[in-house]
Amino acid sequence: MEIPKGNFAGFRANLRSDLLSGFLVFLIALPLCLGISLACGYPAISGIFTAIIGGLLATFFSNSELTIKGPAAGLIVIALGCVTEFGFTGGKDPAADYQAYRLALGVGVAAGILQILLGVFRSGILGEFFPTTAIHGLLAAIGVIIIAKQFPIMLGLHPDGKPLELLANIPTFVLSMNPKIGLIGILSLLIMFGYAVIRNPRLKVIPAPMIVLIVAVPLGLFLEIGKEGTYTFLDHTYSLGEKFFVDVPLNMFTAITFPDFSGLTTVIGIKYVMMFAIIGSLESLLSAKAIDGIDPWGRKTDMDRDLLAVGLGNTVAAFIGGLPMISEIVRSKANIDNGAQTRFANFFHGLFLLVFVALIPGLINQIPLAALGALLVFTGFRLASPKEFVHMYYLGKDQFIIFMSTVIGVLATDLLVGIGIGIGVKVIIHLYNGTPIHSFFKLNAEVTREDEHSATIVIRGAAVFSTWIPLRKYLHRYLQEGKNVTLNFSDTRLVDHTVMSKLYEWIMEFEEKNCELFVRGLAEHEAMADSIVAAHVKRKTRE
């Protein structure tokens, strides 16, 4: 079967498939873009701007055929933190909120330019540096924060507080919810969870987020939640009004907002430029890599080129008032499931958003905020799913400790400090298991045999996350040369989970090229869990 290509010929050949998938992804993206924007403290239209730019611009710079570019829940915590530290008041002072938004846009432009530079200087490989368990912990913590922040909004409440404090108050929120708003929010959440357990594809033709809107919009109108005033239920009085609906301008072009770059000279500005660039790039690269793994045609993304595309998209989006974008995994997975063939499905998803918001913005203003809150609570649950915690425990107690340290670290501090805590705990565990200190900084590898068809590489000391990149370079070089490779770990004290998991990915890479990658020398090592990608420690170092 011929591999679809994202060129002009591919555009014509796959028009029907890409157009249909783009439309279905648009149905998913519309409510999510609105919800993510509001959760970030940005105007609702901001996420739409980002998805439009991600579709109409980034499509032509990236060679990632099936990823969807747009705003992502994983960046909510950073974006909200940025506007908050710049003075965002949550509606109490509109002038201060607007200025905080403009300052955050300035940060977004700078972060986008930094991503462009990372792409130009071929830094996409940096996504391989961070330990996988700590990244999973980071995403799970973000999921918990999203749930904590959006659950009360789903019930018509707007409390302040830290994530752990908000989580502890969930029973109180349920008891004190606005009944009409809570009905919409809870029903929307039940739809999302109910949709997830449906297995018959014929019953899932319309995406779950659009089903939520189909139910929530008429229900909101029936309950008259937009009518200014109050109502009484069980001897308690509750307010209603337009504040419970999405608010976007009837002319989207009047919402274009230009950035204020004065914040870039502050500590806050510099901090968030780095966070947007690093965390955003990392999430985007991981998403693109994950989608490559399920591409029906086995196509591979040029990570440097994709990072360049995301950087360009972020620069333009932030310059007109948009949120940061990444290659978003949930919409990308839906894109594959809907039969997309090439990158033009991403283009069509952006085009449909542009047409919809330009022609019928009034419909958006009938969407209850509670419904969007429910969508984000479900998104947060997926990031912090109990299955993720069980999976990490299955990988070994050491990995579970690193994972939980990252989660708790992020919840107690912030994203960068939290992931730093996770990496620090990983280093301590490696030291306990006998890893030489120098093995964290330099890979001790020696090519002991090389001929026309094969090569043998002996690794000494330890193979850990921080030296994976130089080991990967060996593998990439020999794979390009079409050679079989034997990695001998008999002289190592430890091969960590990050390296083990990536090696199994590379075993499949070699198979695709009709070569073989052999992993040898682990007979004297003890696996720290039953998983094939668990860390392996030499027995004598643990006695």
pLDDT tens, position by position, 311-328: 999 999 999 999 999 999
Q: What is the pLDDT of residue 542?
A: 45
User: Parallel, antiparallel, or unpaired: how do β-strands 68-70 and 326-328 relate?
Assistant: antiparallel
Structure tokens that stand for 342 in this block? 């090439």
Q: What CA–CA distance (Å, rounded) separates 305 from 288?
A: 11
Q: Is residue 12 predicted with pLDDT exceeding 90?
A: no
Q: What is the pLDDT of residues 83-119, one digit of tens each?
A: 999 999 998 999 999 999 999 999 999 999 999 999 9
3-class DSSP assignment, residue 227: coil
- Distance (Å, whole) CA 280 – CA 325: 8
What is the average pLDDT across 328-334? 91
Contact 28, 331 (CB under 8 A): yes
Checking if the pLDDT of 432 tops 60, the result is yes
For residue 27, what pLDDT band results from cuts at 50, 70 and 90?
very high
State mean pLDDT over 374-393: 95
State how beta strands 536-538 and 525-527 pair.
antiparallel
Determine the Cα–Cα distance for residues 182 and 486; give it in Å rounded to an integer. Answer: 59
For position 541, what pLDDT does the model report?
Answer: 45
Mean pLDDT across the chain: 93
Contact yes or no for 463/536 (Cβ under 8 A) = no
Task: Fill in the DSSP letter of residue 497.
Answer: H
Q: What percent of the chain has pLDDT over 70?
A: 99
The reported pLDDT for the residue numbered 539 is 79
- Give residue 540's pLDDT band: very low, low, confident or very high (50, 70, 90): low
pLDDT tens across 496-527, in order? 999 999 999 999 999 989 999 999 999 999 99
pLDDT at 13 over 90: no
pLDDT score recorded for residue 298? 85
Residue 112 CA to residue 5 CA, distance in Å, equals 27
Indicate the fold that domain 437-542 takes in CATH. Transcription Regulator spoIIAA (3.30.750)
Q: Could you tell me if 37 and 257 are in contact, meaning their C-beta atoms sit under 8 angstroms apart?
A: no
pTM: 0.90
Amino acid at position 4, single letter = P
pLDDT tier at 413, thresholds 50, 70, 90 = confident
- pLDDT tens digits along 234-288: 989 999 999 999 999 988 889 999 999 999 999 999 999 999 999 999 899 889 9
- The 8-class DSSP code of residue 323 comes to P
For residues 388 and 400, the answer to whether their CB atoms sit within 8 Å is no
